[in-house]
Amino acid sequence: IKSCGNHSCPHPALHPLWQSPLTIPGGTRQSPINIQWRDSVYDPFLKPLKISYDPTTCLHIWNNGYSFLVEFDDSTDKSIIVGGPLENQYRLKQFHFHWGAINDWGSEHTVDSKFYPAELHLVHWNAVDYPSFEDAVMEGNGLAVIGVFLKLGARHEGLQTLVDALPAVRHKDTVIEFDEFDPSCLIPSCPDYWTYAGSLTTPPLTESVTWIIKKKPIEVDEDQLEAFRTLLFTSDGEEERRMVDNFRPLQPLMNRTVRSSFQ
Ligand SMILES: COc1ccc([C@H]2OC(=S)NC2=O)c(OC)c1
Ligand SMILES: [Zn+2]
């Protein structure tokens, strides 16, 4: 029995936070999933993913009561991704993380049933076909999320600028200005990725995400992971609940194939 924040339970997936719909009725492409490496299919027609972010589009960091998000000005095509499995370019809207109370779990996706201690999501939307992020969230090809695993290892200097800002957003609904940050420093240089059709992992759980999961993790150190765990789900003045185990349980693969960009 391990504590998962505010009571002891056998596994964080049973945490009250996830008593929300763990699966949506009729959902056929829900996320996250386990990526079974040997079942993924190499697709030679997958292109390299091209990432070009403009650090001046970075706006602020805020604690939304689920995670901490770094949000970007998505009113232009200054920060975009293109290529990979994508039909056209997608605009960067925000990035955020999911993590565990302890290093044994925390990621949303698993690889051969292995959890990483945390997972980064860089969220992009299809501004070619849709007028806003809110509209794109409702469409099958509306979003593209790059997933990057975090593993325990060396200190990550780029992440440290984020970690230094976390005490200012400890409580839910707090926000601070944050500028000149280029999130490509958080993406491994190895080009290899898996891709599959999935969904958002918190409500509205819409099946609108083309997932691009990087094969290689980035390394962060114990102090940096512990800094994530000092955040709170709760607002200032409420009884404190540590923001940990903010990841959704694994969902059935159903009739999906995970493709790889590498052999
Ligand atoms: C309305 O905007 C949202 C809502 C939920 C999510 C969740 O889905 C994934 S993926 N991670 C999450 O925390 C989101 O992230 C892209 C954006
Ligand atoms: Zn996420």
Nearest CA to ligand 1 atom 14: 200
Q: Region 72-92: what's the mean pLDDT? A: 98
Pairwise pLDDT comparison (14 vs 200), residue with the higher score = 200
Of 24-38, 49-63, 157-171, the poorest mean pLDDT is in: 24-38
Cα–Cα dist 137/222, whole Å = 34
Q: What is the pLDDT of residue 5?
A: 47
Q: How far is CA 192 from CA 42, 71, 93, 216, in A?
A: 11, 26, 23, 7
Could you tell which of 69, 98, 202, 208 is best to mutate to test the pocket of ligand 1, judged by most ligand atoms within 8 Å of the CB?
A: 202
The ipTM value here is 0.96
Please determine, for residue 135, whether its predicted confidence score (pLDDT) is greater than 50: yes
Q: Region 52-68: what's the mean pLDDT? A: 98
Share the mean pLDDT of the chain.
93
Please determine, for residue 11, whether its predicted confidence score (pLDDT) is greater than 90: no
Cα–Cα dist 94/258, whole Å = 25
Contact 129/120 with Cβ under 8 angstroms? no
Residue list, ligand 1 pocket, CB within 6 Å = 66-67, 96, 121, 123, 137, 145, 200-202, 209
Nearest CA to ligand 1 atom 5: 202
Q: Region 137-153: what's the mean pLDDT? A: 98
Phi-psi region of 112 (alpha: psi -120 to 50; beta: other; left: phi over 0): left
